[in-house]
Amino acid sequence: MILKSFIDPIVIPEVDVAAFLIDTIDQSPYWQDPQRPVYIDAKTGETVTIGELVSNATAIASGWQNVARLPRGAVVALLSPNDVHYAVALLSVTLAGGMATPVNPAFTVDELVHQLKDSGTTFIVADRDFLEIAGQAASKVGIAASNILALQPHRHSTSTKSLYDLRCDRPFRRLSLHRDEVHTTTAYLCYSSGTTGRSKGVETTHYNVVANACQVRTFNRLMTSVQDDRCWIGILPFYHIYGLHTLLHLNLVQGCPVVSMRKFDMLNFLESVPKYRINYAHLVPPIILWLLRHPAVKGHDLSSLVGITCGAAPLPLALAKEFGHRFSSIALTEGYGMTELSPVSHLAPRESRYINSIGVLIPNTEARFVDDNGRVLGYNQTGELCIRGPQVMKGYLNNPEATRATIDCKGFLHTGDVGHVNEDGYFFISDRKKELIKYKGFQVAPAELEALVITHPQVQDVAVIGMHDHEHVTEVPKAFVVSADPSSVRTEVEQRTLAADIVQFVNCRVANHKRLRGGVEFVSEIPRSATGKILRRVLRNREQTNAKR
Ligand code: 4UW
């Protein structure tokens, strides 16, 4: 059984991302005034207007070609927290024919090195506070210091130029792709671990990006409270596909300025809502929990907020219900996305009858569920969710094997998420069969942590799984470890000491969201299949049984 969207298919323009965005802005009734702010910093009030966004991105694009000599298809890394200049940098790169790889600014040098190397980055645009770490990573991968540019306009040191110094009014060859090329040319390389292994470059084509912006805009206009010409809050990180799609593209398409926050700060959020008359927020489940539990919420006026979309991780039903009672004037709806889906496949309509559903299919999207033997399932039967549509990525960069394992010969992308669809066409996610752990919506690849833990001198074998942290509505990584010398970890004190040492060993080598918050448990062996694959399900079941006790 193949399920299709209720909404009639839409026509998707076969143009590149930059042309699509600039044409959309040109024709939008909401962006007629070039002085209208499009990005506003929540703390400082610094603003970038729509006119500045387009004119600076265009002048910088000319500089990319005429000054920096950026070759067509070259990769530029963006290393920055949310900043009002981020969209300028991103648009300039695509306009000049480059490929952008957004990087998590919380990364350690080694994590950064992995992405720079894997993506083949040649230039780095870094936030003023991240120039040093950019320099350290660049020197390890052979990127010249002169190829690091500061994101913000003013000069930061004598040695580092600003991206804005590239501005140039000489003619340049704007990226102009043929209809066929938009389907094959990569615009962005976000990183995701997919269903297994370490994080991989997801090749999101120009067509993928344009398609998803059009699909979601159509769905929003018909079915949700995400109206045009409203003010949105920019909490989601711009480097993550959820933030990238929503706060750097969809907002432009829907005529919505974004009040951007460099880092999530509950008080700043609560003050920004009435100050900027924020109407809409795209959030993740732990922030819904904060809104329910944080004592400061009561003293703030959230009356301008009419709706919230929540996603990137499961939203417990009880929490959604509690939110509905407490904030009855705010429509809370779920959506479902994945880096490999550019990112959206499902959104919940405004008047969804099913509170804990991820919603229905957006236009031009098909889905089916399959069991472990690849048998296609029917309504209300639980299996793996598979998606087909114009938003399905081209593949993983330089990894045809992983691509083949994810997108089947019929074009369906296997999400690794388990759930079902009911007869009304509403989808539900109940489990995850892939390895991925989600800490507050951020990806943690168990394979990456395992590769690190195994380098600890006292570890013989290891498996990492996600365990539920109900208090914080998230998952946290936990390591099961076989000690290299079991006789030295017999007592509880010995076990606690070594566990603390391993946790410390990992935590100082990884970004904050990957920390071993679930701790370490010693086991006599790691359950493995005949082919040596870790049987994570066995460990997860054991964990669940222990939690129930
Ligand atoms: N319920 C349960 C959900 C849900 C979920 C995602 O880091 P990635 O690759 O990507 C994302 C993207 C989320 C997103 C993007 C755009 C958008 O509008 C939207 O709506 C709210 C969400 O998270 O992780 C993908 C994995 O995250 C889990 C699921 O396991 C998926 O494969 N996930 N949304 N509503 N789980």
pLDDT at 158 (0 to 100): 66
**What values do phi and psi take at 51, rounded to 5?**
-65, -40
Question: Does residue 79 register a pLDDT over 80?
Answer: yes
Kindly give the distance from the C-alpha atom of residue 385 to the centroid of ligand 1, in angstroms, as a whole number: 13
Check whether 542 has a pLDDT greater than 90: no
What the block records as the tokens of 549 is 């006790």
Could you report the per-residue pLDDT of 93-110, keeping only the tens digit for each? 999 999 999 999 999 999
Ligand 1 pocket: which of 236, 254, 336 to mutate (most atoms <8 Å of CB)?
336
**Separation of CA 311 and ligand 1 centre (Å):** 5
pLDDT confidence bin for 232, thresholds 50/70/90: very high
What's the gap between Cα 469 and its chain centre? Answer: 21
Q: Which of 191, 338, 358, 361 to mutate to test the pocket of ligand 1 (most atoms within 8 A of CB)?
A: 338
| pLDDT band per the 50, 70, 90 thresholds, residue 532 | confident
- Ligand 1 lined by 358 (C-beta under 6 Å): yes
Give the span between the Cα atoms of 369 and 376, in whole angstroms.
Answer: 6
Ligand 1 geometric centre to CA of 429 (Å): 11
Q: How far apart are CA 29 and CA 147, in angstroms?
A: 38
Cα dihedral 293, 298, 302, 307 sign: positive
The beta strands (E) that lie in 197-343 are given as 200-205, 232-234, 258-260, 280-283, 307-310, 331-337
Verify whether ligand 1 is closer than 6 Å to residue 341 (CB atom): no
Q: Residue 156 has what pLDDT?
A: 57
State the closest ligand 1 atom to the C-alpha of 432, by its place in the atom list counted from 1: 30
Ligand 1 centroid – CA 216 distance (Å):
15
**How many angstroms does the Cα of residue 72 sit away from the middle of ligand 1?**
31
Residue of minimum CA distance from atom 20 in ligand 1: 335
**3-state SS of 229-255?**
CCCEEECCCCCCHHHHHHHHHHHHHCC
**Confidence (pLDDT) at 543:** 86
Q: How far apart are CA 499 and CA 459, in angstroms?
A: 10
Distance (Å, rounded) from C-alpha 238 to C-alpha 252? 14
CB atoms within 10 A of CB 306: 16
pLDDT band at 530 (very low <50, low <70, confident <90, very high): confident
CA pair distance 245, 211, nearest whole angstrom: 11
Beta carbon of 415 within 6 Å of any ligand 1 atom:
yes
pLDDT at residue 353, rounded to an integer:
84
Peptide bond into 274 cis (omega under 30): no
Q: Please choose, from the candidates 211, 398, 217, 227, the residue with its C-alpha nearest in 3D space to the C-alpha of residue 306.
A: 227
pLDDT at residue 143 above 70? Answer: yes
**What string of H, E and C letters represents the secondary structure of 385-453?**
EEEECCCCCCEECCCHHHHHHHECCCCCEEEEEEEEECCCCCEEEEEECCCCEEECCEEECHHHHHHHH
Q: How far is the CA of 344 from the centre of ligand 1 (A)?
A: 8
Q: Where does residue 142 fall: left (phi above 0), alpha (psi -120 to 50 degrees), or beta otherwise?
A: left
The model's pLDDT over 389-414, given as tens digits with 9 standing for 90+, comes to: 999 999 999 999 999 999 999 999 99
Burial of 11 (0-12, 13-18, 19+ CB in 10 A): exposed
- 245 CB within 6 A, ligand 1: yes
Cα distances (Å, whole numbers) of residue 2 to 274, 367, 377, 394: 45, 6, 9, 21
183 vs 545, which has greater pLDDT? 183
Q: Which residues contact 212 (CB under 8 A, 6 or more apart)?
A: 245, 341, 342, 343, 344, 390, 391
User: Going along 9-83, which residue ranges are E strands?
Assistant: 37-41, 47-49, 75-79
ipTM of model over 0.95: yes
Tell me if 249 CB under 6 Å of ligand 1: no
Q: Could you tell me if 517 and 507 are in contact, meaning their C-beta atoms sit under 8 angstroms apart? A: no
pLDDT at 157: 63
The rounded Å distance from CA 313 to ligand 1 centre is 6
Q: Residue 154 has what pLDDT?
A: 77
Q: Which atom of ligand 1 is nearest to the CA of 216?
A: 18
Q: What is the pLDDT of residues 488-511, one digit of tens each?
A: 999 999 999 999 999 999 999 999
CB 250 less than 6 A from any atom of ligand 1: no
